[in-house]
Amino acid sequence: MASAFRPLLLFLLLIPLSVTANLHKSKTLLKSSLFSSTTTSHLNDTPPTTYFEVTKPIRLPKTQPCVYPILHHDFGYTYGKPPVLAKYIPPSHCPSHDFSKIVLEWSATCKGRQFDRIFGIWLDGVELLRSCTAEPRATGIVWSVKKDITRYYSLLVKNQTQSLAVYLGNLVDRTYTGVYHVDITLYYYPAEKKFNDFEGSSENLASGYGSRADLILPISRNFPLNDGLWFEIENSTDTEGKEIKIPQNVFRAVLEVYVSFHESDEFWYGNPPNDYLLANNLTDKPGNGPFREVVVTLDGNVIGAIWPFTVVYTGGINPLLWRPISGIGSFDLPSYDIEITPFLGNMLDGKTHTLQFRVTNALNVWYIDANLHLWLDGKNTYTEGKLLQHQVMPLGISYSSDFKGLNGTFLTKANRSISSTGWLESNRRLLKSSEHAERELHLSPSKSLHKMSLSSPTSFLRLKSRSLNLHLYSNNGSFNGAFVLFPKRASFNCKKFSVSCSSSSSPDPLLVKAARGEPIIQPPAWMMHQAGRYMAVYRKLAEKYPSFGERSETTDLIVKISLQPWEAFSPDGVIIFLDILTPLPAFGVPFDIEQVRGPVIQKPIISEECLKALHPIDLENFISLGSP
């Protein structure tokens, strides 16, 4: 994971990771990290800048959508106030009420000066979107977020009045003047017969995978509130959650978890270990190392764990990095699915059960809630099941460090294994289900060490179903999961399926492996400048060897200078220190390099006669790397 940020770190060595960009729970307003200029009259004539996140386009049917504006609101001073509410009723004006795709669009404008703000959208307590606002400019900005929310279909088409809640805690005063003007719109796309988005009905997908849940229960806070509906985790020992009771005819259950991190844990992946902070008396820097894990428990037993993606918000590290292209996931924070079907045997007793969350090594302010997606057996009032086996290996963390003063290296290793198996008897569903996840991760600020394996949720079916395709997706070399897709025509006799993937370091640098054509987890990166006067070690050597020609034409000096950036920054490649003008004397153009003026050609080519005086390259007169 650390190597994924190496190109940025080389550019941002002097920028602390402790920039506070999300002050949603702060009691005092810290100094802004934003950049602004004095407002002038010409600013009014400048069109607003469009901000956007690079993401995969939503696959849409060719049908004309039914447009349903839900909310228009200006979020001024909304911090510490209740969420903005709007009544939601499924649209009655649409010509069709059978939809193959439903898309939520958040459109917003802002002008002035303002921090980035985290916000959420909930429907009847079920979170639909977790996002971050863009940081405005004096001339104004415009941005929009589109999210496919078809997985919440049963909630969106429920024929009753529901409450749509939006919380965006914004602060406005004489300095921070930005007001967010927001429109929320839903687009309902009528079903298209030829449109196949692996979102068929439960009747067509007997296994339940790829189908939409029949019921979605919110695992979030209840009103009244003066904040978002998320739970706030304040430290590593804090636990938050909710009691739930599910129908007794459920045959599949998936817990979808939303996570965002703030204040001292906004850049947790760059936090140094505590012994380093203590040894250097760094009392104002966040610590607890670079590892965090969101743990999910059911009635006190661990049923899942999440290693969150490292989303950088629009005010993170340096706000100028995200203008106009926002960081991955910042406008649509990812949610994480945990298959909890094996535990239905414990939950189908008609009693209340408790789902809770905690964060390993948390310093403060994690916003977490969840949606429980349930598939129901419409032909039976009751389903029966039993948890056969549940094994949770304790989280294993090892840490090593080697530092002297402020300089050093650290390596954190973590591994986690959770395995569960159960059976379930249903008229529509499988008789046995199993879920197994195993992860291992190595984190180091100075080395590229990645290893992760993940087994997909597994199922045993005693009926004919559709064949399985497992599509892995990777992010920065870490395998985050597997999609389970069901094509139309095929059947199989059910067997266990699983997938394991790993990515590990080898002794060879990325650049060498890339040159060999071997698979690599990321493009190799190296310093894009040779050693030079920006390095103190180079300036010291130049005092000893004042002639640039000598430094760029003497093999031993070339090697020593070329390795200076390597020794200082540990990049993946080395640029040879050799002047571009070196070949000129070999075909009749002598030159000198003066200390102040730089290259000086003794006989410039200013006429045809000068051009005729040139001759083919004389290899005997060609100074090359390797010459004595």
CA angle (46 as vertex; 45, 48 as ends), nearest 5: 130
Contacts of 547 (CB under 8 A, 6+ apart): 593
Residue 513 CB burial class (10 angstroms; 0-12, 13-18, ≥19): middle
Q: Is residue 595 part of a domain?
A: yes
Contacts of 433 (CB under 8 A, 6+ apart): 252, 339, 341, 342, 421, 422, 423, 424, 457, 458, 459, 460
Task: Assign 600 to helix, strand or coil.
Answer: strand
Q: Which helix (H) or strand (E) holds 609?
A: helix 608-612
**C-beta separation of 67 from 93 below 8 A:** no
Domain boundary among 196, 215, 240: 196
Strands (E), 54-158: 66-75, 84-88, 99-110, 118-123, 126-132, 141-148
* Phi, psi for residue 185 in degrees, rounded to 5: -135, 140
Residue 162 structure tokens? 């529901």
Task: Assign 597 to helix, strand or coil.
Answer: coil
Q: How confident is the model at residue 158 (pLDDT cuts 50, 70, 90)?
A: very high
For 88, 129, 158, 191, 316, the CA distances from 123, given in Å and listed in that order, are: 8, 10, 11, 23, 29
Task: Assign 75 to helix, strand or coil.
Answer: strand
Q: Is residue 332 part of a domain?
A: no
* Phi, psi for residue 401 in degrees, rounded to 5: -145, 155
Q: Is residue 202 part of a domain?
A: no
Residue 1 CB burial class (10 angstroms; 0-12, 13-18, ≥19): buried
| pLDDT one-digit tens code per residue, 104-148 | 999 999 999 999 999 999 999 999 999 999 999 999 999 999 999
Residue 210 structure tokens? 């790829």
Between helices 555-569 and 536-544, what is the axis angle to 10°? 160
Contacts of 599 (CB under 8 A, 6+ apart): 579, 581, 591, 592, 593
Q: What percent of the chain has pLDDT over 70?
A: 74
| pLDDT one-digit tens code per residue, 244-275 | 999 999 999 999 999 999 999 999 998 999 99
Peptide bond into 7 cis (omega under 30): no
β-sheet bridge partners, residue 400: 411
| pLDDT one-digit tens code per residue, 342-393 | 999 999 999 999 999 999 999 999 999 999 999 999 888 999 999 999 999 9
| pLDDT one-digit tens code per residue, 590-618 | 877 776 677 888 888 888 888 888 888 87
Q: How many domains does the chain have?
A: 2
Domain that holds residue 581: 536-621
Q: Is 208 left (phi over 0), alpha (psi -120 to 50) or beta?
A: left
Cα within 13 Å of Cα(496), Cβ side: 9
User: How far apart are alpha carbons 275 and 402 in whole angstroms?
Assistant: 11
Task: Assign 339 to helix, strand or coil.
Answer: strand
| pLDDT one-digit tens code per residue, 2-35 | 444 444 444 343 344 433 333 333 333 333 333 3
**C-beta separation of 321 from 17 below 8 A:** no
Q: Is residue 11 part of a domain?
A: no
Q: Is residue 353 part of a domain?
A: no
Q: Is residue 58 part of a domain?
A: yes
- b/e map 462-489, b = 16+ CB within 10 Å: eeebbebeeeeeebbbbbbbbebebeee
Q: What is the DSSP string of 436-478?
A: EEEEEEEE-SSS-------PPPEEE-SS-B---EEEEEEETTE
Number of CB atoms found within 10 A of residue 108's CB: 22
Q: Is residue 436 part of a domain?
A: no
Is the whole-model pTM more than 0.75?
no
Domain boundary among 196, 226, 257: 196
Peptide bond into 324 cis (omega under 30): yes
Mean per-residue pLDDT for 470-499?
A: 30
User: How far apart are alpha carbons 63 and 609 in whole angstroms?
Assistant: 73
Query: Which of 142, 143, 97, 134 minimizes the C-alpha distance to 113?
Result: 134
Cα within 13 Å of Cα(481), Cβ side: 16
Number of CB atoms found within 10 A of residue 592's CB: 13
Q: Is residue 616 part of a domain?
A: yes
CA end-to-end distance (rounded Å), the chain = 43
Number of CB atoms found within 10 A of residue 194's CB: 6
| pLDDT one-digit tens code per residue, 322-351 | 999 999 999 999 999 999 999 999 999 999
User: How far apart are alpha carbons 151 and 628 in whole angstroms?
Assistant: 70
Amino acid type, 433: S
Q: What is the mean pLDDT of the chain?
A: 78
Give me Rg for the CA atoms of the chain.
30
Residue 493 structure tokens? 């006799």
| pLDDT one-digit tens code per residue, 198-250 | 444 433 333 344 589 999 999 999 999 999 999 999 999 999 999 999 999 99
Check residue 245 and give its pLDDT.
Answer: 97
Give the single-character DSSP code of 433. E
Residue 261 structure tokens? 């991190």
Residue 568 structure tokens? 């200082």
Domain boundary among 158, 176, 196: 196
Residue 514 structure tokens? 């890339």
The enclosing domain of 159 has a CATH number of 2.60.120.1570
